[in-house]
Structure 1
């Protein structure tokens, strides 16, 4: 399938989820048996580990439909990039979706790290959220004329910048993925999930335009 078709399928599934009319496809024993020997997912999804961001549920999909990679704050790293390259090169997925969400704890931690009165984060947590800090810095610079500080900066705007920077980072650090996008056989969508509404909103669309 071409990237745009896969993205449209995912949007259709999310629409069903929002409207409380899911079909729950590919969630039975027959599908489980069908996949026992091999997999051919429609897309790779790189998202936040937040427990409210269960990919197959919010896109109304099932077993074998998504190759899911997650960590807190959807922060790129060697294991993430290796998993995404595996999805593209070996599993031949036509689409990568990078999924953020509002009220992200990792984004909030990155913002709060600018508060000198707060206790330092544990080292592993700090190393995880450190790649989000540039998004905070960019947003602070953008709002400097209006007096925006780490106390008043918009977490939503920081999250959006981080999402955009994450997509750019994937393309910058993986020649394999960037070439697949340039060749038209792979699309990348950066999207945000609204926790209260359940709706997925695309922010960055490359090679999967409708």
Structure 2
């Protein structure tokens, strides 16, 4: 029997060979696992929304799976195919990819203070639907929204804020007026939720691109409220 083959006698050559095999096997195994973990693209608005629901549940449970953003980086350079659009507030505490536990290239995000849909935002969503094939639009309001709060204050004071801020106030004002008559216990939360609902409805009714996709059953839109303290999204 050769010296290297005797029990308990591991040669330097064997150690090198074994280490090389392990170093090659580890990234290959990781790559295979990553490929298996990639979910198939949703084919319906309902499937797309469920994927967001599931992702938010992982985020709330602190069990995110989209943590290695280097995976598929090269393939993302070739193009994008997001499955959902998120119209969210610019608030720094609201990060859609984290909230829904989705990786780069999976969400098409439109952000503006107060999460309303402007003409430019509408055009952006049309591009997402017509060119990128997104299946659902989520208009995401959130607790303690400063833009909605500023709108409520402007109405109460009967005074517009300075600079270009009136454009935000005027866009959000209809939602505040809608709920003021009901005298809700929390006017800020009620107005924020109504603002998300109004803009989700606008997305579905905007013709011809978005309304056409909705009529064909290939696009859905829903309003949601993000609770900053818990991380949970409640769909309205």
Alignment TM-score > 0.5, same fold: yes
Match of 1:52 in 2: 93
- Report SS of the residue matched to 1:192: strand
How many corresponding residue pairs? 194
Match of 1:207 in 2: none
Q: Would the aligned equivalents of 1:31 and 1:63 in 2 still touch at CA under 8 Å?
A: no
User: Given the superposition, is the C-alpha separation of residues 35 and 193 from structure 1 closer, same or farther in structure 2, using an over 3 Å criterion?
Assistant: same
**For structure 1, which segment, 96-105 or 174-183, has the greater mean C-alpha deviation from structure 2 after superposition?**
174-183
Match of 1:84 in 2: 125
Within-5 A mapping of 1:63-142 = 63-116=104-157, 120-142=160-182
Tell me if 1:19 matches 2:69: no
- Report SS of the residue matched to 2:127: helix
Structure (1 or 2) with the larger CA radius of gyration? 2
State the distance in 2 between where 1:88 and 1:129 align.
28
Q: Would the aligned equivalents of 2:180 and 2:187 in 1 still touch at CA under 8 Å?
A: no
Q: Would the aligned equivalents of 1:194 and 1:200 in 2 still touch at CA under 8 Å?
A: yes
Match of 1:170 in 2: 203
1:39 Cα deviation (Å)?
A: 0.7
TM-score, normalised via structure 2 length: 0.77
2:216 pairs, out of 183, 186, 209, with 183
- Report SS of the residue matched to 1:52: coil
1:115 Cα deviation (Å)?
A: 2.8
User: Given the superposition, is the C-alpha separation of residues 184 and 172 from structure 1 closer, same or farther in structure 2, using an over 3 Å criterion?
Assistant: closer
State the distance in 2 between where 1:25 and 1:174 align.
38
State the distance in 2 between where 1:69 and 1:139 align.
25
State the distance in 2 between where 1:138 and 1:113 align.
16
Quote the RMSD (CA, aligned, Å): 1.7
Q: Would the aligned equivalents of 1:26 and 1:61 in 2 still touch at CA under 8 Å?
A: no
1:153 Cα deviation (Å)?
A: 5.7
State the distance in 1 between where 2:170 and 2:91 align.
18
Q: Would the aligned equivalents of 2:139 and 2:197 in 1 still touch at CA under 8 Å?
A: no
TM-score, normalised via structure 1 length: 0.86
Higher helix share: 2
- Report SS of the residue matched to 2:140: strand
Q: Name segments (4+ residues, structure 1) moved above 3 Å.
A: none
**For structure 1, which segment, 83-92 or 95-104, has the greater mean C-alpha deviation from structure 2 after superposition?**
95-104
State the distance in 2 between where 1:112 and 1:50 align.
18
1:137 Cα deviation (Å)?
A: 1.3
Match of 1:194 in 2: 227
Match of 1:206 in 2: none
- Report SS of the residue matched to 1:51: coil
